[in-house]
Amino acid sequence: MSAPDRSAVKEYLLALQQRIVAALETFDGEGFRTDAWDRPGGGGGITRVIEEGRFFERGGVNFSHVMGAGMPASATAHRPELAGRSFEAMGVSLVLHPRNPYCPTAHMNVRFFIALPPANEPDAAPIWWFGGGMDLTPYYPFEEDVRHFHRTCKAAVLPFGGEAEYRRLKEWCDSYFFLKHRNEPRGVGGLFFDDLGADGKIAFDDGFGLVKSVGDAFVPAYLPLLERRKDIAYGERERDFQAYRRGRYVEFNLVFDRGTLFGLQSGGRTESILMSLPPIVKWRYDWHPEAGSAEAKLYDEFLKPRDWC
């Protein structure tokens, strides 16, 4: 079993952030703001944000590398045996909110976590794992776009477990990005995984390989969709529905998202953690789309887990 190489993971994540930001800047035509920050409890990060770009209304591509003497509650809730261990966590997380309602919101995250032996057990082995994935949240979806996104996700996973592993991560994504209080999915899914390697059953190199494959797949999964739809005309009706559906995004991130909870509980930089929230959002009381409308099509045809490949 190969030992975890934290420096290799950090080097990859920093390069991934740089490559993704470069591709997005080329597409948008505006630059991303850079904020380097330090965390009082240990570590820090680099936040790259665009607001009021030519295309992106808001977006961020964040790198963080934090450490601490005790595990946050969000990390030990389902693994209480890790309580009391010091930790080190690093990752790249991005959320992109286009202005055009015909272009979907996208999220991607890849991360590495290591829980170090407690002081009274200096000979114990560290426990490490990888997590991550990506998912798509359209407002006025196109089937060919959703299929392209899922096929690119599938291609990223197939070398690391084949069809069965892809199905597992696809179904995990469908169940994770689900608003239980609304009884509906956040979007059309993609991939999600966590605790990869924590059980000691896979080698570090295999877990790292999957994370790299997923991280590298984001740009080819997402940018072609934007190229196809960026020039579609829209009006106030489409913007209003986009703002309403963005409310679901906010609800999920603040109530359920593990990354948001971990960041806030571990004393991360609040501005960087909450950059995932869209700039314009609306809520309505007991609203339902008109039957047969373009808005109803999202609910009737797309917000239902299905095989897109």
User: Mean per-residue pLDDT for 221-233?
Assistant: 98
Q: What is the pLDDT of residues 109-128, one digit of tens each?
A: 999 999 887 777 767 788 89
Binding residues: 93, 97, 107, 109-111, 150, 181, 267-269
Q: How many CA atoms lie within 13 A of 185 on its CB side?
A: 25
Q: What is the pLDDT of residues 242-252, one digit of tens each?
A: 999 999 999 99
Q: Which CATH architecture has domain 6-302?
A: 3-Layer(aba) Sandwich (3.40)
Other C-beta atoms lying within 10 Å of the C-beta of residue 206: 16
Binding residues for a divalent metal cation: 97, 107, 150, 181
**107 in active site:** yes
Q: Where does residue 292 rank: exposed (0-12), middle (13-18), buried (19+ CB within 10 A)?
A: exposed
Domain ranges of the chain: 6-302
Which helix (H) or strand (E) covers residue 36, if one does?
Answer: strand 33-38
Q: What is the pLDDT of residues 116-161, one digit of tens each?
A: 877 777 677 888 999 999 999 999 999 999 999 999 999 999 999 9
Among 78, 107, 148, 288, the active-site one is 107
SS3 307: coil
